[in-house]
Homo-oligomer: A and B are copies of this chain.
Amino acid sequence: MSDLQRTLRVDLGERSYPIHIGTGLLDSAALFEQAIGSRQVMVVTNETVAPLYLRRLLDTLRTFDTHHVILPDGEEFKQLEVLNQVFTALLERHFDRGCALVALGGGVIGDMTGFAAASYQRGVDFVQVPTTLLSQVDSSVGGKTGVNHALGKNMIGAFHQPRGVIIDVTTLDTLADRQLSAGLAEVIKYGLIDDPEFFAWLEDHIEDLRRRDTRALVHAIERSCADKARVVAADEREAGRRALLNLGHTFGHAIETGMGYGVWLHGEAVGAGMCMAAELSSRLGLIGPDLVARIRDLVARAGLPVDAPENLDSGHFLELMAVDKKVRDGKLRLVLLKGVGEAFLCSDFDRAALEAVLKQRAERT
């Protein structure tokens, strides 16, 4: 085990599980044997990841009765009909209730595999092997699984915790720069929510992360997972505190929907969304303009946009925010900032300030 390897525990009572982070973990048969308590193992991956890492993983899993299924790659395939391919693969191999699924890929593969595991014979084990920065720092913790419906994202799913998460940071070597930056948006988010020390560390190390320095990546992923795990452990079913994880997301979802899914990456929309949340906080007198500048600077250095797209007018933007699923009883709730590491949930804010934030883009550009 290299000195770079870290293990942290997500504390959820009897559903607690470890997250292992390090280099070369894809080849660690011992780690997988520890994580998987089953004989029958189904690896679920996609057409992009399979040529890169599937052989290696299957080789590592050779002591199990292992099969695999390769799904098409892309958010548009995150739907019930494609999910059914996983069930078909499991049933064709006569997989029983004692089997385990292994998700090898990014967030879409993780969400679909997790939901397949939650639903197959009413629940079997699964292990995550996330291969994108976004899925490593986001989907590894929280137990949210599911698929999209034609009428809404992530509308069908389950809370289902993995038995373990194995993060091999060397899989990031094959990740496109743009995808890496998108993952960094969520990393920055954890610092802003409740970890000011981590935010300061990111200001010093964002370039190290972009050039994929292993030591920096392991630290950032470990800290992000630990930060998220703390929030989730306090609120597994998303009643209160967990909503803070939506910092930048209500703005972000409006951008994603307004531009058409896939035009902006989720992380890019969240990056701009966090800057907008900071600006709104500043207009409401919660933080100073210097902090807004600091946040915009870090987001920009992460390779992310800091403003919403120009061709999304503020009226339409507001409409899109109003249909976000975090809206309750018609009230828009936003995560705002009182400082770095001091995010809070607010539904009682001056709407004129929000409209001003949505309009100011035009002035700046």
Tell me the minimal C-beta distance from A27 to chain B in angstroms: 30
Binds B, one of A91-99, A182-190, A193-201, A346-354: A91-99
Q: What size tier do the contact residues of chain A reach?
A: 20 to 34
Whether, in the assembled complex, A176 has its beta carbon less than 8 Å from a beta carbon of chain B, the answer is: no
- Binary B-proximity of A109-131 (CB < 8 A = 1, otherwise 0): 00000000011111100000000
Q: Which of A154-184 contact B (CB under 8 A)?
A: 155-159
Q: Are A120 and B158 in contact (CB under 8 A)?
A: no
Q: Are A96 and B158 in contact (CB under 8 A)?
A: no
Which residues of chain B have C-beta atoms less than 8 A from A121's C-beta? 155, 157, 325
Q: How far is the CA of A325 from the CA of B156 in the complex (A)?
A: 26
Q: Are A157 and B122 in contact (CB under 8 A)?
A: yes
- Partner-B contacts on A (CB < 8 A): 80-81, 83-84, 87-88, 91-92, 94, 96-98, 118-123, 144, 146, 149-152, 155-159, 323, 325, 327-328
Which residues of chain B have C-beta atoms less than 8 A from A97's C-beta? 325
Q: How far is the CA of A149 from the CA of B91 in the complex (A)?
A: 9
Most buried by B among A87, A120, A146, A152: A87
In the complex with contacts A88-B151, A91-B152, A96-B157 CB distance below 8 A:
no
Q: How far is the CA of A80 from the CA of B144 in the complex (A)?
A: 20
Q: Are A122 and B159 in contact (CB under 8 A)?
A: yes
